[in-house]
Amino acid sequence: MDNSSSEQTVQDGKHYRHLNSLIAASAVASATMTPLNVEAPPNRLLDLVAKGLAAEKDGITRGTSASPFRDFATSMPDMKGSSKSFPKHETRHLSEHKNIARCARFSADGRFVATGSADTSIKLFEVSKIKQMLLPETKDGPVRPVIRTYYDHIQPINDLDFHPQGTILISGAKDQTIKFFDISKTNAKRAYRVIQDTHNVRSVSFHPSGDFLLAGTDHAIPHLYDINTFQCYLSANMPETSPSAMYVTASKDGAIRLWDGITANCVRSITGAHGTAEATSAIFTKDQRFVLSCGKDSTIKLWEVGSGRLVKQYLGAIHTQLRCQAIFNETEEFILSIDELSNEIVIWDAMTTEKVAKWPSNHVGAPRWLEHSPVESAFISCGTDRSVRFWKETV
């Protein structure tokens, strides 16, 4: 290896280390904000993203391993090809809230899933019990997959998240609170810690370290909390120990915004990502190079983080009323979302953008929320009919 190649390899390594330290990337889904007139300032974080992408592309030419999403950076949004088949799933009604089921979240290990409702309750399910429920009934009688029900909010619940390493579930609600529940305590019905925010908490997301959480609220700037001190940080008072991460928000003004977790500054604003319609969700891919967004303009779009460029667009599902999400399956080979008019779950091949399946949702009225397991071919749907359904690949 000559000196120039050796130096380039070292430089690539530095870029990756910088990139990985700065973009731990935990997505804030459905964070609705008031419109911001923010011009994205030049920022070293985005520079490093671009350098990381260039280094990865160069690595591909040298035969080194790369992200499965590498082709997204160079292929055209309307590229067609040989689409994969999405496996067939069976579905089962799990439980019912007393009002609209508004959100759902799996734990990082896929062992638990929680749902939140406008009735202010949270239901915690154990996935192994759900799978038992799908089997023929035994002599012991029906299996009950709900292992806890929490009643501690006084207004509808908007979002949930599990701590990445622990047994903690958090919830954000219209009552302007974020509440902490210890799911290991079988008799606990109420939160053991509470953060009182100043605005309606629309979304909550733990930082991958578990030491910080981000709340998307009706305030113009996302609120970053240290979960040990409960200190709320904005760009003017970021601590020296602030998390090294980039996060993403979706806004009522149709924009997608990328934020620097070190300074809490908006470093890129994709204005009009969904025209003048509300952007209802935004999530990072696992390699954190792309953002998948959904909007009330009935489009789903994939954006390159480093450049803000539109890479893919997924069409053919109508969503203009509900705060719908677009989500990946566990391998990120497929994208799932909802068609409000036909009351169907629509699945696209993530690479080719072709629709590969449309399934009746089995809900009365369109589902309000989809959440896929991070570890297996299974997902949850819940909605305005108050019901929660589990979908699992058939063998």
Give me the tens of pLDDT residue by residue for the chain, a chain 395 residues long.
Answer: 555 555 554 455 444 444 444 443 333 333 333 333 333 344 444 554 455 545 444 443 344 334 455 555 444 445 556 789 999 999 999 999 999 999 999 999 999 999 999 999 999 999 999 999 888 765 566 788 999 999 999 999 999 999 998 899 999 999 999 999 999 999 888 999 999 999 999 999 998 888 889 898 888 888 889 888 888 876 544 444 445 568 888 988 999 999 887 777 788 999 999 999 999 999 999 988 999 999 999 999 999 998 999 999 999 999 998 888 899 999 999 999 999 999 999 999 999 999 999 999 999 988 989 999 999 999 999 989 999 999 999 97
* Residue 121 to residue 153: CA distance in whole angstroms: 7
* Residue 291 to residue 284: CA distance in whole angstroms: 4
pLDDT tens per residue, range 66-116: 445 555 544 444 555 678 999 999 999 999 999 999 999 999 999 999 999
Residue 269 lies in a domain: yes
| CA 70 to chain CA mean position, Å | 21
Contact predicate 22/244, CB 8 Å: yes
- Across the beta sheet with 112-117, what order do the strands follow? 101-106, 112-117, 121-126, 146-151
* CATH code, domain with 268: 2.130.10.10
Q: CA-CA distances (angstroms) from residue 230 to 25, 173, 194, 255, 355?
A: 21, 17, 9, 29, 44
Supply 139's token pair. Answer: 């002599």
At which residue do the structure tokens 């806004």 appear? 251
Contact predicate 190/149, CB 8 Å: no
Quote the pLDDT of residue 70: 55
What is the number of structural domains in the chain?
1
Residue 266 lies in a domain: yes
Other beta carbons within 10 angstroms of residue 287's beta carbon come to 17
**Do the bridges between strand 310-314 and strand 300-304 make them parallel or antiparallel, or are there none, so unpaired?**
antiparallel
**Which residues pair with residue 300 across a beta bridge?**
294, 314
Residue 240 lies in a domain: yes
**Which residues pair with residue 284 across a beta bridge?**
291
Quote the pLDDT of residue 79: 53
Task: Give φ, ψ of 330 to 5 degrees.
Answer: -65, -25
User: What is the chain's length?
Assistant: 395
Residue 78 lies in a domain: no
Task: Give φ, ψ of 269 to 5 degrees.
Answer: -120, 115
Quote the pLDDT of residue 169: 97
Residue 201 lies in a domain: yes
Containing structural domain, residue 353: 25-36+86-393
pTM summary value = 0.79
Residue 219 lies in a domain: yes
Other beta carbons within 10 angstroms of residue 200's beta carbon come to 18
Quote the pLDDT of residue 21: 43
**Hey, is 333 helix, strand or coil?**
coil
Contact predicate 192/222, CB 8 Å: no
* Residue 61 to residue 64: CA distance in whole angstroms: 8
Report DSSP state, residue 237: G
Residue 58 lies in a domain: no
Quote the pLDDT of residue 194: 95
Q: CA-CA distances (angstroms) from residue 63 to 59, 66, 257?
A: 6, 9, 34
Residue 8 lies in a domain: no
Q: CA-CA distances (angstroms) from residue 384 to 9, 153, 282, 323, 371?
A: 53, 19, 22, 12, 15
Other beta carbons within 10 angstroms of residue 62's beta carbon come to 10
